[in-house]
Structure 1
Amino acid sequence: MHRTFETTTERRQRTLDGQWEFLTDPGNEGYEADYGESFPTEEADRLSVPSSWNAHREYADYVGPAWYRRTFETRAEGSQLFTFHGVARDATVYLDGEEIASHEGSYTPFTGLARNLDAGEHELVVRADNTRREATLPHDDADWFPHGGIHREVVVERVPDVYVRNLAVDYDLYGDEATVAAEVTLHNVGPRPAEPDLTVSVGDASVTDSVEVDGMDAATATLALDVEDVDRWTPDDPMLYDVEARLHGERAEREGGAFVDDLRDRIGFRTVSTGGREILVNGEPVDIAGVNRHEDHPEWGSAQPLRVQERDLDLIRRAGCNAVRCSHYPNHPRFLDLCDEAGVLVVEEIPLWQVDESTMVSTQERAQRTLLEAIERDRHHPSIFAWSLSNECANDEATVVEGTRKLKWTADGVDGSRLITVASNSDWEGETDGVFEFCDFLSVNAYWGWYRDGDWGEFLDGIEADYGEKPIVVTEFGAGAVPGDRTHEGRKWSESYQADLLADCVDLFRERESVAGFTVWQFCDTLTDPDRAMTRPRTRNNKGVLDEYRRPKEAYRVLRDRLTDE
């Protein structure tokens, strides 16, 4: 299941998990040979979906295009909606030899619709390519492993002639009452116009209206309703409300009867703001204490099953942490569901990583599209309190500043309910950050004591003086440690050195009034970019407080000792 709850009660929904035929294409011959229509089955291996192909020994280091194929059956004629929740990185989808969808980006979903698909057996072929280039998002120098493949679920739903394509809920809070505006998009795949009844419900409150939608067209309606006696979502009491858009209408005369469709999600009512140096949830200050989390596992790669996600979150909370920074891309929506349920705060980021003015122009459109897709997918998660627009870009350069400003306008135009930030190392690099001017809080990355010597106190003094009275969150800090390497002298790359540095930093940040919180780099050791593998022990970014199998280093215990009563 791709979420922790059912997203529909009316549609016949299934995932295409399991074994697919698989074939790498290092020479990029598949297009010319028309693999989409004539897949070379006799040459293919078999690979599990969802998975990262790099998590399979035979393809551990493969970067390039590859092809997947499987068949499936439909029992009756009807329209089928295919949702691919994550394909790394470029994807093209063919159904019975015809292209039905294409998408660029590993971490956001895309759909393909097959109208009036005949009953019987059908063939699905997917081309995926995990190659990174200078103008891709992320680009070819990004500092995490380029996992490839269909690494999140493929969901197939049979939809009626008129179905709910999208549901977007906004609200305003007035004490214990919420005024809700639900924007619902209906899609009519049939030739005849329709005027179905649409009901939107939030908890026990509901409203109904009829919506006109022409044949082979879409229509969007906004329904308003009030929710009384609201229990607000808080980190200590993460109250969630079911939201549903339900459709009911008459079928065409030749078919007779009625059709029903629904789309379900969850929301939590809360406000997020800043006051002085504090981040506020429902007007109350929160101290951010968290970790950065990549989707990476030795056995699963970037395709993590529910149990791994549950275990990760449990370990994060056992350390006393109340926050996660999704570095450097939107994490699986099911992990965000778990954060919603647990009251764990989340910063979600897009993979605009270390871009300078020479590449900002070429990546601007991709970044904007990725940001929109992330917000549209995740706007209902109450755990997400901030959108992070970039990480460690050249924010002293005018082109980067203006490009990032446009991303802020995009985010504000779609969702004004969350804070905006960027993760910046400009000051650590000796430059002035031009993006901090329009950030709600200052996300600072620096590695004093690891990559270079320096004084954290003096560094934070400068941040406070240069950018006005805004909350500061230290979003990256830490040190590498090879698991099991412990020295009396506390030498670099030892667990002892990492633990001591982490302890000093956490103590300083918690005592400093200007610092609203921190997120340790990082949760666990992760595979590094292949080009950096020779410069890092074990071919990994070893700054995790846990190793890649989630076994604790000394730093994990240091963090837990400071943040819990255990």
Structure 2
Amino acid sequence: MIRTFQQHRLRECHLLDGLWDFVFDKDNIGLSEGWHTSFPAAPDQMPVPACWNNELGKFEYEGVAWYRTRVTLEESRHLHLLFHAVLGHADVYWDGNHLGYHFGGYTPFNFTIPNATAGIHELIVRTDSTLELNTIPYHIVDWFHYGGIIRPVEMQLLPDVSIENMRITYEMTGDSSADIRMNLSLRSLSDSSAEVPVSLYRNGELFHTGNVRLKAGERLELNIEQSWTELVRWEPENPELYMIRAVAGRDDRADRIGFRTVEKRNKKILLNGKELYLQGVNRHEEHPEWGFAFPNKLMTKDLDIILQMGCNTVRGSHYPQSEYWLDLLDERGVLFWGEIPIWGAAFPAEHTDDPVFIQRAMTMMSEMIERDFHHPSILFWSVHNEIDTRSKQAYDLSVKMTELVRQKDSSRLVAYATMHPMTDICLGLFDVIGINYYDGWYFGHTKFEEMLSTFHERCKAYGAEETPVLMTEFGGAGIHGDTGWEPRLFSEDYQAEILSKALKLFRSDTKLSGTYVWQFADTRAQLESFRPHFRDRARSFNNKGLVTEYRKPKLAYRVVKGIYTGCTDPYRWGTTLQ
């Protein structure tokens, strides 16, 4: 399943997942030799979805690769090809014809093919996982450079009139009432005018019906405004969700929403008018056996472990994560920090004003908001992480990005994470500030207290005195099983000691609104044999996880759980999850 619920009941959807023909293009000759019309003979095969680096003999490859599958249509149909995520650059070909290009890695893109003929068709995808100076992420990045088609590929069969998009916005007018606006985008693929009935449902109950007429090939926007009452707000303790379904002729689409308000006031984050204190972890959606092609079953286990730890929030570091994962958070009442993959610790300031980089950042941000807009669990849109926010280039980029987000979605808070809390010049631009600071690890012991004292004073100078502040990264590495009588570097004891001291300090600072421990699980680092970067990553992993890459708990997990839950016995696991 791509979602935890069924999005279409009338529209016929087919997953194209499975084994696709596959070849590496190490010399980048595929375009000049016309592989999109004449695929190489005797290809390898590759699972879709998957990361090729997890397959034998392909671990270190970064670059161009080609995929091919065949599709059989019994009759002529309108097709909608939906790619849920392809890492890096993607060019898509249908029977040798170029449908289009997409750059990104974690958000969906699609193509519509009107009147595709009956018979056997060839679908080819050229991918390129190469990271460069103006790619997002940057070519030096602190996670593994996976490549591949990492999320499902769908073929949807469309009627003559189909639903292109559905968006629901609302303004709360009381504790249990809201003014809602529903925008429905319809498209005709017919060569003649058509009239279709449109029906809208909330939890199965009809709330609007009518007919619309579309001219041949026309796109039409239908806007419905209503006042709703007797609503139950979405809250962590009671994550009430509403299924909204649109039916237009022989097509349909469903999505879920939750009603809540998010605001900031007096350095606090408020959900439905109530102050939040966030207890969370950073989570990469990565596993050594699957890479970024993360299985749904493991998402459920990750969430169970995170909730058992006492967390009420997760930071999606550092890219848009699976829609299935976000659905689980909606259902379980877990708050989410969403962001795009701008990881800037090794990113020179001068590269942040590259026009190609800026356009890619704006597109990624727009695509993430468009895809995830209806998820009530998402409180924050974060525009970048650890870029050089001491520089004018980063300031100018931040202005562009915050303006874009507020234009796209005014219902959430705009955030970022800084690694320069004592010298940052962007503090006044955001609704929420995240601080990434590794006292006890990268810096030795420079003392969190001194950093926070300086930072709080700078907030006053930059007009951010009332801006909520979160500790979004802190911690240290601990190798599972390395324990002893003293807290040595890389031991479980040292990692636990760092986190224990840091969490107790942060929870005593009334100017902080929460914490995100770095990180939930150990993740594969970008440490290939031919690269000079991150040579301090033992086992080729970022070992700062509270659990191992295979989800085995370290001492730090029990320490964080004890602090987050107030449990005096960190080895008590609690009741069995149902």
| Bin of the TM-score, shorter chain as denominator length | over 0.9
The AA in structure 2 aligned to 1:13 is C
The whole-number CA distance in structure 2 between the counterparts of 1:214 and 1:392 is: 50
| 8 Å CA contact 1:349, 1:389 repeated in 2 | yes
1:365 matched to 2:359? The reply is: yes
Contact 1:270-1:382 within 8 A present in 2 as well: yes
CA distance in 2, matches of 1:415, 1:194: 33
**TM-aligned CA deviation for residue 119 of structure 1:** 1.9
Out of 387, 394, 403, the residue aligned to residue 381 of structure 2 is 387
Structure 1 partner of 2:547:
546
Deviations 1:276-333 (A, max 9, x none): 1211110011111111111210111110111011111111111111111111110011
Does structure 1 residue 296 correspond to structure 2 residue 254?
Answer: no
Q: Who is 2:38 aligned against?
A: 38
2:21 corresponds to 1:21: yes
Identity value in percent: 37
State the Cα distance separating 1:209 from its structure 2 match.
4.1
Matched position secondary structure for 1:469:
coil
Q: CA deviation at 1:270?
A: 0.5
Whether the aligned pair in 2 keeps the contact of 1:78 and 1:115 (CA below 8 Å) is yes
What secondary structure, in the 3-state scheme, does the structure 1 residue paired with 2:467 have? coil
Which of residues 470, 482, 489 in structure 1 aligns to 2:486? 489
1: CA distance, partners of 2:181 / 2:101: 32
Structure 1 residue 102, shift from structure 2 partner: 1.6
Q: What is the DSSP-based 3-state SS (H/G/I as helix, E as strand, rest coil) of the residue aligned with 2:234?
A: coil
**Partner residue of 2:508 out of 511, 525, 531:** 511
Matches within 5 A, 1:211-226: 211-226=212-227
Give a deviation string over 1:433-454, Cα, whole Å, max 9, x none.
Answer: 2222021121111001111121
Pair 1:424 & 2:421 matched: no
Report the CA distance between 1:214 and its aligned residue: 3.3
CA offset digits 1:316-356 (Å, max 9, x no partner): 11111111111111001111111101101000001122144
Question: Does 2:278 align with 1:281?
Answer: no
Per-residue Cα deviation, 1:372-413 (whole angstroms, up to 9, x for no partner): 000000000000000001001111211211211111111111
**Using the alignment, how far apart are the partners of 1:484 and 1:283 within structure 2?**
44
Q: Is 1:446 equivalent to 2:447 in the alignment?
A: no
Q: How does 1:141-290 map to 2 (within 5 A)?
A: 141-175=140-174, 176-203=176-203, 204=205, 206-248=207-249, 260-290=250-280
Aligned to 1:91: 90
**8 Å Cα contact 2:310-2:561 kept in structure 1:** yes
**1:219: how far off?**
2.1
Aligned length: 551
Q: Note the alpha carbon deviations across 1:255-291, whole angstroms, 9 max, x for none.
A: xxxxx11111100101111121211110011111111
Amino acid of the residue matched to residue 539 of structure 1? S
Which runs of structure 2 are paired with 1:316-327 in the superposition (5 Å)? 316-327=306-317
Measure how far apart 1:501 and its partner are: 0.6
Q: Partners of 1:8 and 1:316 in 2: how far apart?
A: 31
- Which range moves more in the overlay, 376-385 or 287-296? 287-296
Amino acid at match of 2:45: R
Deviation string, structure 1 residues 196-252 (Cα, Å, up to 9, x no partner): 33333333352234444332232222211222210110011111100112102xxxx
Whether the 8 Å contact between 1:205 and 1:226 is mirrored in structure 2 is no
Give 1:251's aligned residue. Answer: none
Conserved 8 A contact 1:93-1:125: yes
Q: 1:61 to 1:457 in 2, by over 3 A?
A: same
> Which residue of 341, 345, 349 corresponds with 1:351?
341
Distance (Å, rounded) in 1 between the aligned partners of 2:236 and 2:486: 40
The counterpart of 2:495, out of the listed 490, 494, 498, is: 498
| 8 Å CA contact retained: 2:418, 2:434 | yes
Partners of 1:142 and 1:184 lie apart in 2 by: 39
CA contact (8 A) 1:207 1:224 kept: no
Q: 1:509 offset after TM fit, Å? A: 1.4
Pick aligned residue for 2:458 from 463, 466, 485: 466
Residue of structure 1 aligned with 2:426, choices 411, 422, 435: 435
- TM-score for both structures, normalised by structure 2: 0.93
Residues in 1 aligned to 2:309 and 2:367: alpha-carbon distance in whole angstroms: 32
SS of aligned partner of 2:194: coil
In structure 1, the residue corresponding to 2:6 is in which secondary structure?
A: coil
Hey, what's the Cα distance between the residues in 2 that align with 1:396 and 1:267?
38
Residue 72 of structure 1: how far off its partner (Å):
2.1
When residues 205 and 419 of structure 1 are mapped into structure 2, their CA distance, relative to the original with a 3 A threshold, is farther
1:74 is displaced (CA, Å) by 1.9
Summarize deviations over 1:462-494 as a string: whole Å, max 9, x none: 222221122210000000112211131211111
State yes or no: 1:49 paired with 2:48: yes
In 1, the alpha carbon distance for the partners of 2:378 and 2:426 equals: 21
Q: Which residue of 1 is the match for residue 296 of structure 2? A: 306
Alpha-carbon separation, structure 2, partners of 1:451 and 1:534: 14
SS at 1:23's partner residue? strand
Q: Is the 8 A contact 2:335 2:377 kept in 1?
A: yes
Q: What amino acid is aligned across from residue 300 of structure 2 in structure 1?
A: E
Q: Output the amino acid matched with 1:459.
A: M
User: In 1, distance between residues paired with 2:255 and 2:104?
Assistant: 24
> Who is 1:455 aligned against?
447
Are 1:487 and 1:496, in contact at CA under 8 Å, matched by a contact in 2? yes
Contact 1:277–1:513 (Cα < 8 Å) also in 2: no
SS in 2 for 1:400: helix
Q: Is the 8 A contact 2:419 2:437 kept in 1?
A: yes
**C-alpha separation between the residues in 1 aligned to 2:171 and 2:197?**
25
Corresponding residue of 1:107: 106
Equivalent position of 1:329 in the other structure: 319
